């Protein structure tokens, strides 16, 4: 290599290093439930704002909250708003921003059954408790008189990790079923029944893949994972006694009239509206209220504001629910507290 070539290479290296040093890096981790829309938002934002690099690892809501508390990330994603005990552990306080909403579906792999399976609200909690063990059980057959239900064992697929999707799902089951409330209860992790037909898989994509690979399997996942994985989704009986498929309209009906508290920890465990799909949840971006890095705090405010406004147009195509206008306004106002 000539001296001139070496000098040019050194100059290019210095320029590249300088460009990288000038970029603001935002690091996050947490929920897999919103990962598809996060990936879309963050890619578009990075393209429009090349001075910002965003890295998000979908590792589960519980792990994301722990990373935020430990100071290893700038923000976390969670389908379970932080508890008072978790907030007390976080230096600098937290601002919890509802960023999108979505549906948790009961997806299944049932060869020979073409029409959507109907599951009553007394039935699906018992399936996940392991009490109903075969697909041709009379309790399932009662609501599906025209289906040829196979004499096949039911394999329940649940989350292996600390999961906000599990929290929202078990929060609904605890509200809809006294039997479930007395048993596993609600949480990011719960004591599942000791049953060799209840198996665990990591994250939403892991549960989806396991259902796809296991005839007779059933599990709970975010709607988009089931949709793009081409998994059948059950019609669930809602609180009004209607069997409802998960979709944009039934999801929006579930969000209507939900009261939003000042801390933005809004739950809709068992919506009462006609036509409402029964298992919906908001998902949050969790931001440190007092951030030691002024540049990171400013970049986070701009990023999250973009997701709350122009970013909402991507929600329906990806299987999520756009935020109601009142929630967007409250979230933008809360974002001003990030400093």
Confidence bin at 12 (pLDDT 50/70/90) = very low
Does this model's pTM top 0.85? Answer: yes
Mean pLDDT lowest among 7-16, 75-84, 243-252:
7-16
Same-domain pairing of 167 and 50: no
Q: Is residue 267 part of a domain?
A: no
Average pLDDT of span 86-94? 95
| pLDDT (0 to 100) of residue 22 | 77
Same-domain pairing of 79 and 165: no
Indicate the DSSP class of residue 134: B
Per residue in 273-289, pLDDT tens? 999 999 999 999 999 99
Mean pLDDT of the chain: 93
| pLDDT (0 to 100) of residue 4 | 36
Q: Is residue 262 part of a domain?
A: no
Average pLDDT of span 136-161? 97
**Residue 189 class from Cβ within 10 Å (0-12 exposed, 13-18 middle, 19+ buried)?**
middle
Same-domain pairing of 84 and 199: no
Distances 231 to 17, 40, 45, 77, 212 between C-alpha atoms, Å: 46, 22, 31, 25, 7
Same-domain pairing of 189 and 249: yes
Q: Is residue 261 part of a domain?
A: no
Element (H, E) at 65: helix 61-70
| pLDDT (0 to 100) of residue 15 | 36
| pLDDT (0 to 100) of residue 14 | 35
Confidence bin at 255 (pLDDT 50/70/90) = very high
Which of 255, 290, 308 delimits the end of a domain? Answer: 255
Specify the higher pLDDT residue, 15 or 47: 47
Same-domain pairing of 112 and 96: no
Per residue in 58-69, pLDDT tens? 999 999 999 999
Same-domain pairing of 162 and 31: no
Q: Is residue 129 part of a domain?
A: yes
Confidence bin at 17 (pLDDT 50/70/90) = very low
Same-domain pairing of 247 and 109: yes
Q: Is residue 136 part of a domain?
A: yes
| pLDDT (0 to 100) of residue 259 | 87
Same-domain pairing of 92 and 70: yes
Same-domain pairing of 92 and 110: no
In percent, the amount of the chain with pLDDT more than 70 equals 94
Average pLDDT of span 287-313? 96
Is the pLDDT assigned to residue 320 strictly greater than 90?
yes
Average pLDDT of span 24-36? 97
Per the structure, how many domains does the chain have? 2
Q: Which residues contact 179 (CB under 8 A, 6 or more apart)?
A: 125, 126, 129
Q: Residue 182: which domain range? A: 104-255
Q: Is residue 275 part of a domain?
A: no
Is the pLDDT assigned to residue 195 strictly greater than 70?
yes
| pLDDT (0 to 100) of residue 21 | 56
Residue 192, domain CATH: 3.40.190.10
CB 78 within 8 A of CB 64: yes
Half-sphere exposure of 249 (CA within 13 A, CB side): 4
Average pLDDT of span 101-121? 96
Q: Is residue 11 part of a domain?
A: yes
Which of 220, 255, 290 delimits the end of a domain? Answer: 255
Average pLDDT of span 116-136? 97
Q: Which residues contact 106 (CB under 8 A, 6 or more apart)?
A: 119, 124, 218, 219, 220, 233, 234, 236
Same-domain pairing of 145 and 287: no
Average pLDDT of span 72-91? 96
Structure tokens at 191: 């004591």
Which of 236, 255, 274 delimits the end of a domain? Answer: 255
Q: Is residue 272 part of a domain?
A: no
Same-domain pairing of 108 and 194: yes
Confidence bin at 178 (pLDDT 50/70/90) = very high
Average pLDDT of span 173-184? 96
Same-domain pairing of 250 and 150: yes
């Amino acid at each position: 290599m000539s001296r001139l070539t070496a000098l040019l290479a050194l100059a290019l290296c210095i320029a590249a290093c300088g460009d990288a040093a000038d970029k603001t890096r935002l690091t996050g981790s947490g929920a897999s439930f919103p990962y598809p829309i996060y990936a879309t938002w963050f890619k578009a934002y990075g393209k429009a704002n090349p001075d910002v690099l965003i890295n998000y690892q979908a590792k589960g809501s519980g792990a994301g909250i722990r990373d935020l508390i430990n100071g290893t990330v700038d923000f976390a994603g969670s389908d379970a708003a932080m508890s008072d005990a978790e907030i007390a552990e976080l230096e600098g306080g937290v601002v919890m921003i509802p960023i999108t909403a979505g549906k948790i579906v009961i997806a299944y792999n049932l060869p020979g059954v073409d029409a959507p399976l109907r599951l009553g609200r007394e039935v699906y909690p018992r399936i996940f408790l392991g009490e109903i063990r075969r697909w041709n059980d009379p309790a399932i057959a009662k609501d599906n008189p025209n289906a040829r239900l196979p004499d096949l064992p039911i394999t329940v697929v649940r989350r292996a990790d600390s999961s906000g999707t599990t929290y929202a799902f078990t929060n609904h089951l605890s509200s809809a079923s006294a039997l479930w409330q007395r048993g596993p209860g609600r949480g990011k992790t719960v004591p599942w029944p000791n049953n060799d037909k209840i198996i665990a898989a990591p994250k939403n994509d892991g549960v989806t893949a396991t259902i796809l690979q296991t005839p007779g399997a059933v599990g709970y996942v975010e709607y988009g994972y089931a949709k793009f994985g081409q998994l059948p989704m059950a019609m669930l009986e809602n609180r009004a006694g209607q069997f409802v498929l998960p979709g944009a309209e039934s999801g929006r009906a579930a969000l209507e009239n939900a009261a939003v508290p000042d801390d933005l920890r809004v739950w809709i465990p068992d919506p009462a509206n006609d036509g409402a799909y029964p298992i919906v949840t908001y998902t949050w971006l969790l931001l440190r209220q007092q951030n030691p890095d002024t540049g990171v705090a400013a970049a986070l405010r701009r990023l999250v504001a973009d997701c709350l406004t122009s970013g909402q147009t991507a929600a329906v195509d990806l299987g999520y629910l756009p935020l109601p206008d009142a929630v967007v306004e409250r979230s933008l106002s809360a974002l001003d507290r990030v400093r």
